[in-house]
Amino acid sequence: MEILTSEEMERADRLAIAAGTPGFALMLSAGQAVAEAATDLVEEGSILVVAGPGNNGGDGFVAAAELVAQGRDVSIILMCERDHLQGDAASAARGWKYPVLPFNPQAIGKPALIIDALFGAGLSRAVDGDPRDMIEAINANGAPVLSIDLPSGVNGTSGAIMGVAVRATETVTFFRKKPAHLLLPGRINCGRVRVADIGINTDVLAEIAPQTYENTPQFWRKSFPVPRIDGHKYSRGHVLIVSGDLAATGAARMAARGALRAGAGLVTLASPRDALAVNASALTAVMVHAADTVIEFGEMLSDKRFSAIVIGPGAGVGERTSDFVHTALSAQRGLVLDADALTSFAAAPDRLFEAIKASQGRQVVLTPHEGEFPRLFSDISNKHPFRSKLDRVRAAAERSGAVILLKGPDTTVASRDGRATIASNAPPWLATAGAGDVLAGIIAGLLAQDVPAFEAASIGVWMHGEAAREAGPGLIAEDLPEVLPAVHRHLYDEFGIDY
């Protein structure tokens, strides 16, 4: 499903209005959707609407009138004088035939539900003064909170908290989600998110041409690899994973299991000789081949049946790893660079980026976490407190020439052409040692099956999160590959694929 920035959503509204749907009709539909959500949240008891001076407040007035018509006890606190409202918000306020309460935190009382209609998604400066006091009072009240569009104080595009923000129980938004519904920290403040249809035709998306998507199977369904009945192990691809030395072999083995479970037909570990025995004894379906030097590694890659490579998990930081990376890029295979492979270029990241751009026919995925990202992209750091993770990942993809996967609870993937996905399915227990190594292997397993790099990274992230959900609390990284068959079955069922 497409995700719209605040500016893109404003354009969707304008296009709908230009096509013949009055703006007030959109507001009526939005307010009715809010009233329905409020009724679902609390079936009885008083409801308080805290309304701002813009269209968000107008939605609140419509919802209040609808709830009163249903027999509910509703009050409104208004941030400004009623006659200061303009446009559709003023029209909505005229439908409210009752007094409004002063904009004073003491007026909140003890309602069964608070509807937050203060600010919309376009908030671009920090909240202070009376609005800040009101938001803090809402958060301290203890009543469940239903936010309209976004919790007040959350920037719709970046997900940043603009000084202070409402902590909602549920958020009802309209037509499409915004980045802040998925990006942290805003997502935490949103609570449950429901998307309401308010009468905007999906035809407007063709003109807006959004490039950000929620990372769900519906987005990448056509790219998901399904084995052919006439296929064989080599047609499913062969992944080569570089192992570290004797004291650091486990990460590569976890990547290898991830690649196999993602569907690769074969996986080989390129192992230093001093680690050959321990790798061979710990692996069964994965083959092991000795490769101490970059020359030996290059000789391995003369076998064209290797279709994807992973370098980084436990590989060690230094010249040997960076040399292996350059050799892999020259071989023009799918390539996942993680962990030590990224840090090995921290002193000279442009060397890596130039090599990526110079390699022809390459499909390269870089998978940093927030600690590794600034080592490669120090000038694309998050110095501005309200800068979007989405913007940083897109800028990094443009700079490097690779697909960038920035890990976290809101893992974001971007390609050089501007497309991006944001994932929201990873449970908190996925944050465990070795999980990223498995992810690198999953992505390589998909690359080996000829899945394009952007889609392979997005599919890998989603499957990684679903595997963690399948394993449940208490998982360790070794569990993730073993539950991937269940994730595959769920996808086959969803896609209607026989197995």
Q: Are 139 and 105 in contact (CB under 8 A)?
A: no
- What pLDDT score does 382 carry? 60
Query: How are the residues of the chain apportioned to helix, strand and coil, as percentages rounded to the nearest 5?
Result: 45, 15, 40
- What pLDDT score does 124 carry? 82
Amino acid sitting at position 175: F
pLDDT in tens, 10-43: 999 999 999 999 999 999 999 999 999 999 999 9
Whether domain 217-495 has CATH 3.40.1190.20: yes
- What pLDDT score does 384 carry? 57
Mean pLDDT, residues 473-497 taken together: 97
CA atoms within 13 A on the CB side of 2: 18
Mean pLDDT, residues 72-87 taken together: 95
Mean pLDDT, residues 129-140 taken together: 98
Mean pLDDT, residues 300-307 taken together: 95
User: Is the dihedral angle over the CA atoms 247, 251, 257, 263 positive or is it negative?
Assistant: negative
- What pLDDT score does 87 carry? 96
Query: DSSP label at 275?
Result: G
Whether domain 2-210 has CATH 3.40.50.12780: no
- What pLDDT score does 445 carry? 98
pLDDT in tens, 462-478: 999 999 999 999 999 99
Q: Which band of pLDDT confidence, cut at 50, 70 and 90, is reported for residue 121?
A: confident
At residue 366, the 3 state secondary structure works out as: strand
Report the predicted TM-score, pTM, of the whole model to 2 decimal places: 0.95
Q: Which band of pLDDT confidence, cut at 50, 70 and 90, is reported for residue 289?
A: very high
Mean pLDDT, residues 328-352 taken together: 97
Number of H helices, E strands in the chain: 19, 17
Q: Where are the domains of the chain?
A: 2-210, 217-495
- What pLDDT score does 290 carry? 96
pLDDT in tens, 344-392: 999 999 999 999 999 876 799 999 999 999 999 998 876 555 579 999 9
Q: Give residue for tokens 């360790």.
A: 476
- What pLDDT score does 122 carry? 78
CA angle, 450 then 209 then 363, to 5°: 20
Q: What is the spatial distance between Cα 386 and Cα 170, in angstroms, rounded to a whole number?
A: 23
Paired residues of 405 in beta bridges: 413
Average pLDDT over the chain, rounded to an integer: 96
Selected residue with higher pLDDT from 491 and 122: 491
Q: Which band of pLDDT confidence, cut at 50, 70 and 90, is reported for residue 274?
A: very high
* Residue 183: partners with Cβ closer than 8 Å, 6 or more residues away: 158, 159, 388, 389, 390, 410, 412, 422
Tokens of 429: 């227990």
> Would you say residue 100 has pLDDT above 60?
yes
